[in-house]
Structure 1
Amino acid sequence: HSARRRKKTHACESCNKTFPSRSKLERHFLIHTGQKPFKCSLCGKSFRQSTHLKIHQLTHTEERPFQHKVCKCDRCEKIFPSSSKLQRHYLIHTGQKPFGCNVCGKTFRQSAHLKRHQLTH
Structure 2
Amino acid sequence: MNLAKSIPVFKLYGESWHWPTPDLLHCESIHSRSSLYDWSIRAHQHTDLVQILYVQQGEGDIEIEGVSLPFSQPCVQIIPALCVHGFRFSTGPTVFRCRLPHRLSPSLNSSLAVQCRC
TM-score (norm 2): 0.22
- As a proportion of its length, which structure holds more helix? 1
Larger RCO, structures 1/2 (Cα 8 Å, 6+ apart): 2
Larger Rg: 1
